[in-house]
Amino acid sequence: MKNTFSYENKELENSRIKLGETVSERFGERQPLCFLHSFGCQQNVSDGEKIMMMLSTVGFGFTNDTDEADLIIYNTCAVRENAEDRVFGAVGNLKHLKEQKPDVVIGICGCMAQQKSVCEKIKNTYKQVDLVFGTFAYNDLFVMLEEIYSKHTKVFNIEENTGIICEELKQLRIDKVKATVPILYGCNNFCTYCIVPYVRGRERSRSIEAVVNEVKALVNEGYKEITLLGQNVNSYEYGFPELLREVDKIDGHFRIRFMSPHPKDATNELIDTIINSKHICKQLHLPLQAGNDRILKLMNRKYSVSDYMKIVEYARSKSPDFCISTDIIVGFPGESYEEFCDTKKVIKEVGYYNIFSFVYSKRKGTKAAEMEDGISDKQKGLWLRELLLEQRETAMEINNKFVGQIKEVLVDGKSSTIEKLLNGKTDEGIIVEFEGDESLIGKFVNVKIMKAMNWALHGEIAE
Taking CB within 5 to 8 Å according to partner kind, which of ligand F3S, ligand SAH, ligand SF4, none is near residue 327?
ligand SAH
Find the angle CA(432)-CA(435)-CA(227) to the nearest 5 degrees.
35
Question: Residues 78, 106, 218, 387: which binds ligand F3S (CB under 6 A)?
Answer: 78
**Taking contact as CB under 6 A, which single stretch among the options 32-40, 60-68, 122-130, 193-201 is the one that binds ligand SF4?**
193-201
Amino acid (one-letter) located at 290: A
Contact indicator for 415, 421 with CB cutoff of 8 Å: yes
Question: Residues 79, 228, 295, 355: which binds ligand F3S (CB under 6 A)?
Answer: 79
Q: Considering beta carbons, is residue 363 or 407 the nearer one to ligand SAH? A: 363
Taking CB within 5 to 8 Å according to partner kind, which of ligand SF4, ligand F3S, ligand SAH, none is near residue 197?
ligand SF4
Residues in the chain: 463
Query: 379 by DSSP, 3-state: which?
Result: helix
Peptide bond before 235: cis, by omega within 30 degrees of 0? Answer: no
Q: How far is the CB of 194 from ligand SF4 (least distance, A)?
A: 3
Q: Where are the alpha helices (DSSP H) in 34-187?
A: 42-56, 81-92, 95-100, 116-125, 141-151
- Report how far residue 176's alpha carbon sits from residue 224's, in angstroms, rounded to the nearest whole number: 9
Q: Considering beta carbons, is residue 205 or 423 the nearer one to ligand SAH? A: 205
Classify the phi-psi angles of 165: left when phi > 0, otherwise alpha if psi is within -120 to 50, otherwise beta: beta
Q: How far is the CB of 153 from ligand SF4 (least distance, A)?
A: 34
Question: Residues 33, 52, 71, 111: which binds ligand F3S (CB under 6 A)?
Answer: 111
Q: Considering beta carbons, is residue 157 or 192 the nearer one to ligand SAH? A: 192
- Report how far residue 405's alpha carbon sits from residue 423's, in angstroms, rounded to the nearest whole number: 17
Q: Which residues of 279-292 are buried (b: 16+ CB within 10 A; e: fewer)?
A: bbbbbbbbbbbbbb
Question: Residues 44, 114, 128, 231: which binds ligand SF4 (CB under 6 A)?
Answer: 231
List the x/- string, 244-273, binding to ligand SF4 by CB under 6 A. Answer: ------------------x-----------
Taking CB within 5 to 8 Å according to partner kind, which of ligand SAH, ligand SF4, ligand F3S, none is near residue 111?
ligand F3S
Question: Residues 44, 46, 283, 326: which binds ligand F3S (CB under 6 A)?
Answer: 44
Taking CB within 5 to 8 Å according to partner kind, which of ligand SAH, ligand SF4, ligand F3S, none is near residue 163?
none
**Taking contact as CB under 6 A, which single stretch among the options 25-33, 104-112, 117-125, 191-199 is the one that binds ligand SF4?**
191-199
- Report how far residue 216's alpha carbon sits from residue 234's, in angstroms, rounded to the nearest whole number: 22
* Residue 187 within binding range of ligand SF4, rule CB under 6 A: yes
Find the angle CA(440)-CA(443)-CA(445) to the nearest 5 degrees.
80
